[in-house]
Structure 1
Amino acid sequence: MRNVLKSALLSASLLVAFDACAQIPTLAKCTRSANLLACVDGDGNAYSVNTAGSTMYLRGFDAAGKRYWAQTNSRYGQLTFFTGIASDGEAWVGYNRRIGWTTINRFSSSGGSSARFTCNRIAGC
Structure 2
Amino acid sequence: MRYPLKFVLLGVSLLVAVDASAQIPTLANCTRSANLLACVDGEGNAYSVNTAGSTMYLRGFEAAGKRFWAQTNSRYGQLTFFTGIASDGEAWVGYNRRVGWTTINRFSSSGGSSGKFTCNRIAGC
Runs of 4+ in 1 over 6 A off after TM superposition: none
Q: Pairwise mapping of residues 18-33 of structure 1 onto structure 2 (< 5 A)?
A: 27-33=27-33
The residue number in structure 1 matching 2:73 is 73
The residue number in structure 1 matching 2:105 is 105
Uncovered stretches (5+) of structure 2, i.e. residues with no partner: 1-24
The answer to whether structure 1 residue 85 and structure 2 residue 85 are counterparts is: yes
Distance 2:28 2:112 in 1: 30
The residue number in structure 2 matching 1:96 is 96
The answer to whether structure 1 residue 46 and structure 2 residue 46 are counterparts is: yes
The residue number in structure 2 matching 1:64 is 64
Q: TM-score, normalised by structure 2?
A: 0.72
Structure 1 residues 26 and 37, CA gap change in structure 2 (3 angstroms):
farther
Structure 1 residues 40 and 121, CA gap change in structure 2 (3 angstroms):
farther
Q: Which stretch of the first structure deviates more once superposed, 112-121 or 51-60?
A: 112-121
Q: Offset at 1:100?
A: 3.5
Structure 1 residues 76 and 124, CA gap change in structure 2 (3 angstroms):
same
Distance 2:123 2:117 in 1: 13
Distance 1:121 1:35 in 2: 26
Structure whose residues are more often helix by fraction: 2
Q: TM-score, normalised by structure 1?
A: 0.72
Please provide the CA RMSD for this pair: 2.0
Larger radius of gyration: 2
